[in-house]
């Protein structure tokens, strides 16, 4: 049976998850969040962090119970039912299949704006080709490259925050410490939750690392710890950076909302820093695309190995590299759609699938620990019932806070999945194919 090799440590998994989050994206999406929240970007990130904290706890519980590849797909099918597990996996495919495409499209757009003589499709193909080769060779190489790319990102973020503080210090009318970014007199929960629904796009790294369980040493302890660390570290970065940027630019009006951070970067650091900022953004997009493609291929491998997707194509590993090459290449082919789509269309419904999967994982904790294992003490009441319910309610609230187009597209994808599930189970009369996961020592 195809088996992935356990080579990743806690530090490697945390690095992978933070890279997937792309910390510098807090700057790339600042303008959109500033407008949607009326200048309360840190409040949106804080709300997203609270919601994701409880869901991350549920992911950690399920990763400890079932240390196998497959993420939400594996957890839901084992804790609740194979059919609902398929729906969870289908929902997650929205994220894992289309997220790399969106990441590479954004990176290509940045590069095209800097080098207009080079067609954007050239940058798209370059992103796809390089990341695919690295992921085929294996996660050891990807991990080493991520370490370098993460260092560049953090240096740019530190410089951006330092320049913001310096800029604020030069204006006596702008206090360094204020509650305005969290409460500006227009505090409305719908505004903040609408922004939080967008901000959660940046938190998907904690979910991604659960797909690496079978490649992690001591996964029952390592993966849950990594999930919580990634969520907290990423959340603190997003809240902290957005706070200082919001203070430096309290207005939520921009010349171009999609490139608001460029405008701010020029105000606080001049033309030279704008160029440095551009390099940091491109590096961040490359690191995130590398991680996103790796996670998507592992989910496809898990579903293929179970026979839910064609096993001969998805459920195999390369003889030399030990990686799911077919799944990696499929992610690359899907990403070619970026040649015909824009950023808005490609990202509009990714979060719908994420929130649906998150909701089902919270339910899985209740079904596995509270109902199935009947762990009913006071501590268990909090950990296995109250916290998952909080996470479930938060995820559903975020889902309904998405724009209508995202909800319609997400529901359409879900309907296609239900039709395929009906075909796979002969009119829902049978269970989807299931494979017994053997846990490696």
Give pLDDT tens digits for 248-287. Answer: 988 888 876 767 777 888 889 888 888 888 888 887 778 7
Give the Cα separation of 425 and 351 in Å (integer).
28
Buried b (16+ CB within 10 A) or exposed e, 185-224: eeeeeebbbbbbbbbbbbbbbbbbbbbbbbbbeebeebbb
**Is 436 within a domain?**
no
Which residues are 216's β-sheet partners?
A: 8
User: What pLDDT score was predicted for residue 436?
Assistant: 47
**Torsion sign, CA atoms 11, 95, 132, 308:** positive
User: What pLDDT score was predicted for residue 440?
Assistant: 34
pLDDT tens-digit map of 23-62: 888 887 888 888 888 889 999 999 999 999 999 999 999 9
- Taking all residues of the chain, what is their mean pLDDT, rounded to a whole number? 83
Q: What CATH number is associated with residue 359?
A: 1.20.1740.10
Give the Cα separation of 191 and 187 in Å (integer).
8
Range of the domain at 52: 10-424
Residue with the bigger pLDDT between 150 and 407: it is: 407
**Is 303 within a domain?**
yes
**Is 434 within a domain?**
no
Residue with the bigger pLDDT between 97 and 166: it is: 166
Q: Is the pLDDT of residue 395 over 70?
A: yes
**Is 1 within a domain?**
no
Which residues are 8's β-sheet partners?
A: 216
Q: Is the pLDDT of residue 72 over 70?
A: yes
Task: Tell me the H-state helices in 115-218.
Answer: 120-137, 139-169, 189-199, 205-208
Residue with the bigger pLDDT between 89 and 332: it is: 332
**Is 437 within a domain?**
no
Give the Cα separation of 324 and 117 in Å (integer).
36
pLDDT tens-digit map of 302-322: 778 877 788 888 888 887 878
**Is 3 within a domain?**
no
pLDDT tens-digit map of 360-393: 999 999 999 999 888 888 889 999 999 999 999 9
**Nearest-5° Cα angle at 286, 254 to 305:** 125
Residue with the bigger pLDDT between 337 and 325: it is: 325
| Strand positions, DSSP E, 59-211 | none
Going by pLDDT thresholds of 50, 70 and 90, the confidence category of residue 343 is low
Give the Cα separation of 92 and 72 in Å (integer).
7
pLDDT tens-digit map of 116-166: 899 888 998 998 998 888 888 866 655 666 667 778 888 889 999 999 999
User: What pLDDT score was predicted for residue 139?
Assistant: 60
**Is 2 within a domain?**
no
DSSP code of residue 216? B
Give the Cα separation of 76 and 361 in Å (integer).
6
Q: Is the pLDDT of residue 439 over 60?
A: no
Give the Cα separation of 226 and 264 in Å (integer).
33
Total residues belonging to the chain: 441
Total of domains in the chain? 1
Give the Cα separation of 283 and 22 in Å (integer).
9
Percentage of residues in the chain having pLDDT higher than 90 = 26
Percentage of residues in the chain having pLDDT higher than 70 = 91
Whether the CB-CB separation of 73 and 296 falls below 8 Å is answered with no
Q: Which residue has the tokens 């800029």?
A: 167
Q: What's this model's pTM, rounded to 2 decimal places?
A: 0.80
Q: Is the pLDDT of residue 71 over 50?
A: yes
Give the Cα separation of 420 and 437 in Å (integer).
23
Give the Cα separation of 67 and 74 in Å (integer).
9
Instruction: Give the up-direction half-sphere exposure of residue 225: CA atoms within 13 A in the CB hemisphere.
Output: 12
């Amino acid at each position: 049976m195809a088996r992935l090799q356990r080579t990743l440590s806690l530090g490697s998994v945390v690095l992978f998850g933070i890279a997937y989050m792309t910390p510098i994206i807090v700057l790339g999406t600042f303008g959109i969040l500033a407008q949607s929240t009326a200048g309360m970007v840190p409040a949106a990130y804080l709300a997203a962090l609270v919601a994701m904290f409880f869901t991350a706890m549920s992911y950690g519980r399920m990763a400890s119970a079932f240390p196998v590849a497959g993420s939400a797909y594996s957890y839901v099918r084992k804790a609740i039912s194979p059919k609902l597990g398929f729906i969870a996996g289908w929902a997650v495919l929205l994220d894992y299949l289309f997220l790399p495409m969106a990441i590479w499209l954004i990176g290509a757009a940045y590069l095209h704006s800097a080098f207009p003589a080079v067609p954007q499709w050239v940058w798209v193909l370059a992103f796809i080709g390089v990341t695919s080769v690295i992921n085929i060779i294996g996660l050891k190489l990807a991990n080493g490259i991520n370490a370098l790319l993460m260092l560049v990102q953090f240096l740019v973020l530190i410089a951006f925050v330092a320049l913001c503080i310096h800029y604020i210090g030069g204006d006596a009318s702008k206090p360094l410490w204020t509650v305005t970014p969290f409460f500006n007199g227009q505090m409305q929960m719908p505004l903040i939750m609408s922004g939080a629904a967008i901000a959660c796009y940046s938190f998907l790294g904690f979910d991604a690392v659960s797909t690496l369980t079978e490649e992690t040493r001591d996964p029952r302890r390592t993966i849950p710890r990594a999930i919580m660390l990634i969520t907290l570290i990423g959340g603190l970065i997003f809240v902290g950076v957005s706070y200082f940027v919001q203070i430096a630019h309290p207005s939520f009006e921009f010349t171009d909302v999609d490139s608001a951070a460029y405008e701010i970067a020029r105000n606080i650091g001049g033309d030279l820093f704008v160029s440095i900022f551009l390099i940091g953004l491109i590096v961040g997009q490359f690191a995130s695309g590398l991680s996103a493609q790796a996670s998507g291929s592992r989910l496809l491998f898990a579903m293929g190995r179970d026979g839910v997707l064609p096993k001969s194509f998805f459920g195999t590993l390369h003889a030399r590299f030990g990686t799911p090459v077919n799944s990696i290449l499929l992610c690359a082919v899907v990403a070619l759609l970026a040649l015909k789509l824009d950023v808005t269309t490609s990202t509009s419904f990714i979060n719908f699938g994420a929130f649906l999967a998150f909701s089902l994982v919270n339910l899985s904790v209740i079904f596995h620990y509270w109902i199935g294992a009947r762990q009913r003490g006071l501590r268990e009441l909090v950990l296995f019932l109250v916290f998952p319910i909080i996470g479930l309610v938060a995820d559903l609230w975020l889902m309904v806070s998405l724009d209508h187009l995202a909800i319609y597209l997400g529901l359409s994808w879900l309907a296609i999945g239900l039709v395929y599930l009906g075909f796979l189970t002969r009119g829902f009369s049978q269970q989807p194919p299931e494979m017994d996961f053997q846990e490696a020592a």
